[in-house]
Chain A
């Protein structure tokens, strides 16, 4: 008999939908949406912006600087990464940009992971104990907040509050941008770059600005991720994460204001419920060649299928508009 406990799975889903990782995904996807959704830039190395944000903070604190300075360094590193990626590559074709960005992200991760740099980056082990002074300014009293298993300790809740506030602020910023001439110019570039250029718009400048702004928000996501436990590890920042963020952006709606945040919440809810049900259903039994240890792989298969099915059947996502150029049928 299969013993499926639906309420418990639902609670898992609701907890993860508001958790720190969901918030990190929302923030990172908001940045990615600025690049991909608004300006049409295929940044396949977006995870690198979160990585330099997290490592900028981590290394600074590790070297004895105060946390607030470390955060500023991390965010500046994200902006710098956007600049460094954009200056040489934005004149290249879209798919070249994709390959250069994913390559840069891999280079950064492998170098950070290298045991030779252990004294600086912590190598494969990473850096721990970064967020102590963030927890020390926590206004919440010690204890668990929430109902039953839908609950968080004071530090997690504090991180969530700060993180989701930043998500709201970033979304409001995007909202302002969509109503501004600059935002309209970005969309015009995405729809028809030549037309925008022939109207005298600085296409290169606008693309660069959107890349830098998106990377800065990505770095902020990395900083929030550091607050969740206070450590960084290179293995968190593999390229697959970027593709998860693409799924989040597409799910919420490419080029929409609140799509990335909504997409992240739905993504984490769905993944978590699915995982919970799968673990309960399979347990220690095995069907054919699938056994209990394969749940992780099954989840990736589902993520991949979701990407394909979304793009084929509902490319505009939850909130999007089917007329957007990136998904419009010719």
Chain B
């Protein structure tokens, strides 16, 4: 739990020269340059990756049996990365016209995946990664990310529609679900199989949503707290939950027990998918359909939409508004928790994973039109696709910029969002 080190110190420790006025959430232990070397589908073993800075060698490593090679660098600058020609097996060469020296800009933390285009005997040019393949793979990962974002943001949108609350603690519901699943799954804690653990985690996140409503937001509504003040309360709540999770869960990202191992890749045309990617896409799609049907067909779903449309009218026609809002909180927590669990599957579980996607979820919700469930779904898909596809042209750390820029542009052109109706609440 080396959290204090990671989030930095505040000024207090030293006197004059300390200008560390506020915490940093980045882990500044360096960045990993990685690549997987292969000819066609055959991995290359024992090829040296050499990292240079201003002509001086600062790192070197050999590829393993899977062709994977990683070099840790301080980051925050540009490097020259090459393969040591003396270690490249005979018959293997660079694709004609491909770069032999890559010059990536590497952030101070995180990963910098690179691609060397290699070819060899018996391998046609088609097997090397083409531009089209890269776009197709980005499209697939954008679709996966977008579906998860759509799933996680539906609750945020319905909650706004029914209560008027812009919930800045929604990201922590995402984290809560992922972390709860981790504890149910962790052999050292509960040790359930992952699928059962995920179910328990989602239920726990739903209960957690209900707890927030009953313990905090319902009493505040009873007191007549204005929406603006409630929004600021949700920010305070986000702080409390995020850092409480950090203390309990620890600062280091963790993985689910059964998915730590590498699984074989599935090739769908040009797209390479891990089995868990398919699971994530399948579960998100299925859940989005279920939520859609629930809202459209069931009595409770209709009641939710009625309260969203006009709360006073819904109340006077006999709908128990408080009960509907409680349902929405449960739904919101459970869907966010499921989204978090799915992100934990493909990525890692960490204490600030929800905060990292909070703005992306806001972008999704606003793009689709605040308060509309189906808008949030479409908005999530759009944000995911646009931000992942943008990495074809831009650095991957600018993904969030693209998503947020899309949000701002849409708001300026069409302030009600793409699917929002023109009737706006004051």
Contacts and interface: CB of A to CB of B under 8 A. Distances in A.
Interface of A: 12, 15-16, 19-21, 24, 40, 42, 88-89, 91-96, 98-100, 102-104, 106-107, 110-111, 113-116, 118, 123-125, 149, 151-153, 155-156, 225, 228-229, 231, 235-236, 238, 240-241, 243-244, 246-247, 250, 271-272, 275-276, 289-301, 303-308, 311-312, 315, 325-330
Interface of B: 1-5, 7-12, 15-19, 21-26, 75-78, 105-108, 160, 166, 216, 220, 223-229, 231-233, 235-244, 246-248, 359, 362-363, 366, 370, 395, 397-398, 400-401, 404-405, 407-408, 411-412, 415, 424-426
A294 B1 contact: yes
B282 to A, nearest CB: 31
Given A240-B23, A275-B10, A103 B4 contact: no
Contact of B247 (A94, A151, A297): A297
Given A115-B76, A300-B243, A311 B370 contact: no
B231 A42 contact: yes
B248 A289 contact: yes
Given A115-B76, A290-B247, A99 B362 contact: yes
Contact of A12 (B12, B225, B231): B12
Contacts of B231: 42, 95, 98
A96 B366 contact: yes
Contact of B236 (A96, A115, A307): A307
Given A103-B359, A111-B398, A111-B401, A327 B226 contact: yes
18 contacts: A89-B411, A96-B415, A102-B362, A104-B404, A107-B405, A110-B398, A110-B401, A111-B398, A123-B108, A124-B108, A153-B15, A240-B22, A293-B3, A297-B3, A297-B4, A300-B23, A301-B247, A311-B225
Nearest to B106: A115
A6 to B, nearest CB: 16
Contact of A238 (B25, B107, B108, B238): B25
B25 to A, nearest CB: 7
Contact of A307 (B9, B233, B363): B233
Contacts of A103: 359, 362-363, 404, 407-408
Nearest to B219: A312
A325 B226 CA distance: 9
A88 B410 CA distance: 12
Given A228-B19, A296-B23, A329 B395 contact: no
B229 A327 contact: yes
A92 B412 CA distance: 9
Contact of B237 (A19, A100, A118, A304): A304
B404 A296 contact: no
B424 A93 contact: yes
A118 B1 contact: no
B233 A311 contact: yes
Contacts of B8: 235, 296
Contacts of A315: 229
B397 A289 contact: no
A225 B363 contact: no
Contacts of A153: 15-16
B370 A238 contact: no
Contacts of A19: 11
Given A153-B16, A329-B225, A299 B10 contact: yes
A107 B404 contact: yes
Given A153-B16, A271-B12, A296-B23, 11 more contacts: A21-B22, A94-B228, A95-B166, A95-B231, A96-B411, A103-B407, A292-B4, A293-B4, A297-B3, A307-B233, A312-B223
A14 to B, nearest CB: 12
A295 B23 CA distance: 12
Given A289-B1, A307-B239, A88 B412 contact: yes
Task: Give the top 6 A-B pairs by smallest Cβ distance, nearest first.
Answer: A304-B239, A307-B236, A304-B240, A229-B19, A330-B224, A115-B105
B19 A106 contact: no
Nearest to B230: A311
B193 to A, nearest CB: 26
Given A115-B105, A326-B229, A330-B224, A99 B243 contact: no
Nearest to B248: A289
B77 A294 contact: no
Contacts of B415: 91-93, 96
Contact of A296 (B9, B224, B408): B9
A307 B223 contact: no
B423 to A, nearest CB: 12
Nearest to B169: A304
Q: Which of A124, A228, A247 gathers the greatest number of chain B CB atoms within 10 Å?
A: A124
A311 B232 contact: yes
B240 to A, nearest CB: 4
A15 B15 contact: yes
